[in-house]
A = this chain, B = another copy of it.
């Protein structure tokens, strides 16, 4: 068995695993849940399932399979997210209006794509087999991104329902007490930021480039609910001096007084989770706050948020790596004995770095170049990964990005400071 055949076989296996993982996430959803869209920024689970299939169809099957018959003529438009190079898109804010195609029809669509993709991946003689494999890899990483979004999106949409639906039952109650909040210091350094190597990575992680760092220190874990509660109780949401101008305006207009899913009833705090509404566990990592809140908390702490360069350099220095653990539906706490610094697998960590091109960055040619490049404006970089990031998806150089106002991701706070 030669290398190409082997590569194809491995990829088919990965393809099956990743595609199945999307379905696994939906196992306890009701058909009614598949169409939910409670704000323009989130998509219905059904749409995610269709769009990820559309990605394979549009960028691989239509390109590399001679005489490919598309599954449905209108799907090209219905499930195009934002690729102007492909054509018109169904309005993003109206995805929840698409009761048809039904869940069953979308499952048929997935199956059709899966069969065609797998037969293509077995065709090792295909003259463009290498590029097909590369695009397939991109498609699988794209699907994993949408798996994370399926979790965050359905959580957001569910949160409008006073019945507080639980998608999963509460896991066994592991008692845990956080380590104290300590910091590790780092000296002046010229570091290399960005991806180096041959493995899969997104275009926005390259080119790797030299960056000059001044001395700094970084927290050894993320902020927990107890610490954020102290901020609230100290009047954090009503002290203008702690906030960025845009953040203060956002807070005032939207009358924000707490993280996205915190609820107060009879003076008790609760948190909505994918296990339903639960009493707030103060030892757990804080999540679902936006950049403005993260920045205000840091100022209140007399610290600051790290830059993405600092984050990445520390990660390398401290040999932190994502492990391959499966998705958890809520971030866990770290025990005193734990050597993990929660760089990965807990909450995405807001940095003070804007999402912009690395020096020398070039987007890919064609519609696929719209994947990352056109969003390099007005957004902030988050680093690490979260409890709902699929296994094998995270990387030290991974750059997640959201608007400063966004709260529906599993986003939290890691503090930094000057030395």
CA distance A209 to B215 in the complex (A): 12
Residues of B within 8 A of A33 (CB): 99-100
Provide the residues of chain B in CB contact with A248, threshold 8 Å.
Answer: 84, 374
Tell me which of A159-167, A168-176, A279-287 binds B: A159-167
Contact with B along A92-124 (1 / 0, CB 8 A): 001011111111000000000000000000000
Partner of A35, one of B78, B99, B103: B99
Digit string of A249-278 for contact with B (CB within 8 Å is 1, else 0)?
A: 000000000000000000000000000000
Residue ID in chain B nearest A375 by CB atoms: B245
- Contact at B90–A162, with CB atoms within 8 Å? yes
Interface flags for A401-417 (1: CB within 8 Å of B; 0: not) read 00010000000000000
In this complex, what residue of B is CB-closest to A380?
B377
Question: Which of A17-25, A144-152, A349-357 faces chain B?
Answer: A349-357
Of the candidates B246, B354, B374, B377, the one whose C-beta lies within 8 Å of that of A356 is B354
Question: How many residues of A are counted as interface, with CB atoms below 8 angstroms from the partner's CB atoms?
Answer: 65
A10 at the interface (CB under 8 A from B): no
A377 to chain B, nearest CB (A): 5
Which of A53-61, A126-134, A236-244, A318-326 touches B? A236-244
Chain B residues with Cβ below 8 Å from A35 are 32, 35-36, 99
Q: Are A160 and B97 in contact (CB under 8 A)?
A: yes
- Whether A36 and B354, one on each chain, are in contact in the complex, defined by CB atoms closer than 8 angstroms, is no
B-side contacts of A77, CB under 8 Å: 162
A102 CA / B77 CA spacing, docked (Å): 30
> Would you call A71 an interface residue if the criterion is a C-beta within 8 Å of the partner chain's C-beta atoms?
no
In the complex, how many angstroms separate the beta carbon of A30 from the nearest chain B beta carbon?
5
> Smallest CB-CB separation from A82: which chain B residue?
B245
- In the assembled complex, how far is the CB of residue A208 from the closest CB belonging to chain B, in whole angstroms? 12
Given A245-B375, A246-B378, A377-B247, CB of A100 within 8 Å of CB of B360: no
Indicate if the CB atoms of B32 and A244 lie closer than 8 Å: no
A36 and B418 contacting across the interface, CB-CB below 8 Å: no
Picked from B97, B210, B212, B375, the residue with its CB within 8 Å of the CB of A157 is B97
Does A85 interact with chain B (Cβ within 8 Å)?
yes
Contact of A84 among B241, B376, B404 (CB under 8 A): B241
CB of A211 closer than 8 Å to a CB of B: yes
CB distance from A419 to the nearest CB of B (A): 10
CA distance A295 to B357 in the complex (A): 13
Selected from B32, B46, B354, the residue in CB contact (under 8 A) with A34 is B32
Instruction: Please give the distance in Å from A206's CB to the nearest CB on chain B.
Output: 13
For A381-414 the 0/1 string (1 means CB < 8 A from B) is 0000000000000000000000010000000000
- Give A240 to B84 CA distance when docked, in angstroms: 6
Question: Would you give 13 A-B contacts (Cβ < 8 Å), ordered by A?
Answer: A31-B102, A32-B32, A32-B99, A35-B99, A74-B163, A98-B163, A99-B157, A214-B359, A214-B360, A244-B377, A246-B377, A295-B377, A378-B404
